[in-house]
Amino acid sequence: MSMLQFFIAVDVTVVNIALPSIGADFDVNGHTLTWVVVGYTVTGGGLLMLGGRLGDLLGRRRVLLLGTGLFGAASLLAGLAPTFPLLVFARLLQGAGEALALPAAMATIVLLFPEGPRRSRALSVWGAVASCGLVLGFMLSGIITAHLGWRWLFLVSVPFVLLAAVFRVEGDRPVAQDAPPLDLPGALLLTACPLLFTFGVVGAGEPGTPAWLAVGALVGAVAAGVGFVRVEARSPNPLLPLGFFANRTRVAANLTTMLLSGALSTSFLLFTFNLQDRLGIGPLGAGLTMLPLALSLIVFSMLVPRLLARWGARACVLAGIGFTAAAMAAIALVSALRAGGAAMIPAMLLIAAGMAFGIVGLQYVAVSGVTEDDAGTASSVQRAADQLGGTTGVVVCVGFGFAPTLHSLDPFLVATLLASLGLVTGAVMAWRLPAPVPAADLPEQAG
């Protein structure tokens, strides 16, 4: 299950270094290339809660096999895609496969290990593997793109993903005949809202896109969001019960997660564009330049759980936001000075610290105090907030910053300013999080 999680996590970031190569092959600009990144994360985040619900109703093994099969087929399609629209479509399918497979895989791990230290260790391994997949995606992207070509970024994962699915998983119980119906309208609206928003923002920056089409997409995104709230309020079996939002601490943690993830995801793309587009560093060199980010993230991820017990969640989250804000300022300064790739290393170290301190602290708060009745919902919402927040951040910050209609402004400066505004808002929300975290409540860390 962790191997499956690893390759799915790799596919979140593995395309970043390859974006200039993909753009050159299909003759599309950096603004349009954001679809390769956000197409995957928007669909995955929007369908994540539906995937978890399907696993509960139809059985973990069935949904796991369905999700991994879809993910593998979509990876094959992405590697062979002859046109850019088909590549984006394949990335959308990959996101759908992730949304089906990951909740089933995590539920499998939770049920395999009894509650207590053994389950804590298992989930620690699961989380560590995910973090390694995210950061190693950058390095693998540079190596594979330089030596094999960007298409192999998708092709090499196919056999490993399918292999993970055939490992023994306990058989499913028979599907209950009186199972409650799925909230399909809610799932469709939750997915349509960020997709329409992405299309509207990206289209607004393209000179050839009619203004009415971009505005219509943005209006449609708002309508889908309002429709989702109304559907959930009236549905007898809602995908996301509105009572979940009665816990203000949880709401603040998830909103802060979205804003912090937006800035972090934006920084990853800015690293790529600065190293390759501005400095002319090849894919292999760019991937190796990201090595300090990968190594420092592993170090900080091991350090933060210990500090969480001493400082409390609020202090860790605020520290993470502060580190990320400092990193955005460093990115803007280095890009304005057009300094060498080594000048980006301080920003990478700050991003690693911001990711480790902020996300770990927010994850802890977002699932604190859950019961068996709402643990799945709380976990799915936190994961969706992380993924959709990162997507929204890329769309807004990179989409507006690198829009051809704003060429008179420095795109790196615009993107970092927008991300910094989000971080300031996140810091205000994080200030309302609970300060102390009793050490006894923290899960035991794996050795």
Note whether 67 and 23 are within 8 A (CB): no
First and final C-alpha spacing in the chain: 20
In this prediction, residue 49 carries a pLDDT of: 77
* pLDDT of 277 higher than 80: no
pLDDT for res 219: 92
pTM of the model: 0.76
- Domains of the chain with CATH codes: 1-170 (1.20.1250.20), 247-447 (1.20.1250.20)
Mean pLDDT throughout 235-254? 80
Residue 242 has pLDDT above 80, yes or no: no
322: pLDDT confidence band, cut at 50, 70 and 90? very high
Q: What per-residue confidence (pLDDT) applies to 64?
A: 82
* Residues 2-48 pLDDT 10s: 777 777 777 777 777 788 888 888 988 766 787 887 788 788 877 87
pLDDT at 446 > cutoff 50:
no
Burial of 86 (C-beta count, 10 Å sphere; 0-12/13-18/19+):
middle
Provide the residue type at 121 as one letter: R
pLDDT digits (tens, 9 = 90+) for 51-68: 777 777 777 778 888 888
More confident residue, 230 or 122: 230
Span 97-102, average pLDDT: 84
Length of the chain, please? 447
Contact call for residues 92 and 412 (beta carbons, < 8 A)? no
Question: Which of the listed ranges 140-149, 150-159, 250-259, 389-398 does the model predict with the highest average pLDDT?
Answer: 250-259
Span 181-190, average pLDDT: 80
Residue 90: its pLDDT value, please? 93
pLDDT at 286 exceeding the cut of 70: yes
User: SS in 3 state form for the chain?
Assistant: CHHHHHHHHHHHHCCCCCHHHHHHHHCCCHHHHHHHHHHHHHHHHHHHHHHHHHHHHHCHHHHHHHHHHHHHHHHHHHHHCCCHHHHHHHHHHHHHHHHHHHHHHHHHHHHHCCCCHHHHHHHHHHHHHHHHHHHHHHHHHHHHHHHCCCCHHHHCHHHHHHHHHCCCCCCCCCCCCCCCCCCHHHHHHHHHHHHHHHHHHHHHCCCCCCHHHHHHHHHHHHHHHHHHHHHHHHCCCCCCCHHHHHCHHHHHHHHHHHHHHHHHHHHHHHHHHHHHHHCCCCHHHHHHHCHHHHHHHHHHHHHHHHHHHHHCHHHHHHHHHHHHHHHHHHHHHHHHHCCCHHHHHHHHHHHHHHHHHHHHHHHHHHCCCCCCCCHHHHHHHHHHHHHHHHHHHHHHHHHHHCCHHHCCCCHHHHHHHHHHHHHHHHHHHHCCCCCCCCHHHCCCCCC
Query: Residue 323's pLDDT band (boundaries 50, 70, 90)?
Result: very high
